[in-house]
Amino acid sequence: MDWYAAPQESILLRSPASFATGLAPTVSGLRWFRNLDRADIQRELPRWPAGPTFAPRSTADRAARRTGRAFLVGIPLIANLVAGFGGALGSPFGDVPVRGNPEEPENEVEDFPVMWAASGTLARTVPWQLDPSRRPDGYTTDAVLTDRRLVFLGNQQGTLSKADELWEVSREDISEARQMKFSEISADIRIVFRDGSWIRLFTGSPDSAGHLAQLINGSIHALTEADLTEGQRYRVRDFRQELPKNAEPPTFTLLKSGIVQVDCRVPAKAGQGLFETHSILMSPSGGPAKPKPGDL
């Protein structure tokens, strides 16, 4: 691993994270940084390099974008059908709707802010490297949630150097998080800070977005492998042997009924920055388990 938590600190989840882009035709592929009056604040952000200035799309541009998006958004549906037919361990991208309704038209159709921040608020301090339009080619960013803090890391692909620790915030300074389902493969999350400012990020997987939101909100409890029973550890070992070699390390979640959910992400062939999530549910003995009401 290219980054380690502090002594006595537990990593709960690591996920790709970058500023999201709009899905609706008017704002497709676009993003803005706004104050409470919806004015553009990107030039006010300290130490941020210059970036593109966007405008809502014209009617002709929207039609062209819709044609391209129909193919891209269709990929997860096709992948899910193939996975279901073949009996795969997990459905790529989770349960992904191809169409949906905006939850907040003012922030998803008429406009698409990925930063909502009054002067002096916490959201204005997040790193500029989260913006795909500003960071160097081949540079990626991750969000790491621990039991103490949220950390943003940066990595230059193709190097073995240690990840750059770009920014961190205490868990106490985060108010809540919400998976934003009207987004590319439902993989966006909004993180709201205690001062009311917020950011909207794309995580590469609907499972990551949902899991991260649940962990921040405290609705699920994360475990480490050391917390598992011997039978559960054996089951995890067998599960990992069935996965592709490029699968990421598993995460463990204790559900309300007491069963454990194990998730492993695998980079998807459908596109860069997208992931398939393979999951199992285990009883305390490590045997297969079924979810009960309130678990999922």
pLDDT tens-digit profile of 161-203? 889 999 999 999 999 999 999 999 999 999 999 999 999 999 9
**Gap between the Cα atoms of 31 and 177, Å rounded:** 19
Q: Are 153 and 47 in a shared domain?
A: yes
Domain boundary pick from 155, 184, 219: 219
Let me know if residue 240 belongs to a domain.
Answer: yes
What residue numbers bound the domain in which 262 lies? Answer: 221-296
C-alpha distances in angstroms, 242 versus 88, 237, 246? 10, 9, 12
Radius of gyration of the CA atoms of the chain, in A: 19
Q: Choose between 116 and 56: higher pLDDT.
A: 116
Q: Judge if 190 and 57 occupy the same domain.
A: yes
- Pair 225, 215 in one domain: no
201 and 69, same structural domain?
A: yes
Residues 61 and 201 in one domain: yes
Residue 70: per-residue pLDDT:
45
The pLDDT tens digits of the residues spanning 203-251 come to 999 989 999 999 999 988 889 899 999 999 999 999 999 999 999 889 8
* pLDDT for residue 267: 87
Can you give the pLDDT at residue 220?
Answer: 87
Asked whether residue 160 is domain-assigned, the answer is yes
Residue 215 lies in a domain: yes
Domain end point (choices 202, 219, 236): 219
Q: Kindly report the average pLDDT of the chain as a whole number.
A: 86
- Kindly indicate the confidence band of residue 265, based on its pLDDT and cuts at 50, 70 and 90: confident
d(CA 221, CA 42): 36
Task: Please give the model's pTM, rounded to 2 decimal places.
Answer: 0.79
* 133 and 272 housed in the same domain: no
The answer to whether residue 32 is domain-embedded is yes
Are residues 253 and 169 part of one domain? no
What pLDDT does residue 62 have?
55
164-170 and 149-156 strand pairing: antiparallel
Same-domain status, 95 and 157:
yes
Asked if the structure places residue 5 within a domain, the reply is no
Q: Are residues 164 and 266 in the same domain?
A: no
- The token pair at 215 is 């962990």
Residue 1 lies in a domain: no
Question: Which residues make Cβ contacts (< 8 Å) with residue 11, sequence separation at least 6?
Answer: 5, 144, 145, 146
Please indicate, yes or no, if residue 4 is contained in any of the structural domains. Answer: no
> Does residue 2 fall inside a structural domain?
no
pLDDT at 95 over 90: no
Q: Are 231 and 136 within one domain?
A: no
Q: What is the CATH number of the domain that holds 22?
A: 2.30.29.30
Report the chain's terminal Cα–Cα distance, integer Å: 30
| Boundary of a domain, candidates 166, 185, 219 | 219
**Whose CA is closest to 35, among 111, 141, 143?**
111
Whether residues 142 and 227 fall in one domain: no
> Are 127 and 230 members of one domain?
no
Q: How many structural domains comprise the chain?
A: 2
